[in-house]
Amino acid sequence: MGDPRKKRKTYEKPKKLWDKRRIEEEKALREEFGLKNARELWKMQTILRRVRREARRLLSKKGADLESRMSQLLGRVKKLLLKNAEATAEDVLMLTTKDILSRRLETVVVRKHFARTYKQARQFIVHGHISVDGSKVTSPSYLVSFDEEDKVGWYKRPLESTPPEPKAAASPEPKVSLNE
């Protein structure tokens, strides 16, 4: 079984690690969503891959207790990824990586204009300035459900994300000449 304290990988690496096309696509996604490294992208892709894999299994009618498994899958997907109440397993198969990346707390903070950039949003979250439903969340990769999206806010007091105004210059100091 293994040691329960041992950390396990929460992502699957790509099969072809040095594929140029895949690397360029990942770089574009990392820049678009402000991800720190490719590992963060791989974690989100793994979550999506597992959901889609389960949907394919259910559509092929393999396994026992199909109806309850389908309702559990659709409940989880409707909570996090699909806002449509009449979503089906076919809709789950249409999900993309961008759909799951747009549900990250870091992205929600930028979209709600709490931060100007993804880097700033990440810093606010890690330093404990952002809360979800009143509780502090310090993980930028936290997946925000549709119910919680309205409850994302500042923890305790809001911070200003605007740069400070330059101080008004006082009267200039008189010049001292050496000839006096």
Domain shared by 30 and 68, yes or no: yes
Judge whether 75 lies within some domain: yes
User: Residue 72 belongs to what domain range?
Assistant: 10-96
Decide which of 96, 115, 133 is a domain's last residue: 96
Judge whether 92 lies within some domain: yes
Tokens found for residue 70: 């389908």
pLDDT in tens, 154-170: 998 887 755 555 666 55
Judge whether 14 lies within some domain: yes
Judge whether 175 lies within some domain: no
- Is the full-model pTM beyond 0.85? no
Output the pLDDT for position 159.
Answer: 79
pLDDT in tens, 26-47: 999 999 999 999 999 999 999 9
* Res 174 pLDDT > 80: no
Decide which of 96, 125, 151 is a domain's last residue: 96
Judge whether 3 lies within some domain: no
The total number of structural domains in the chain stands at 2
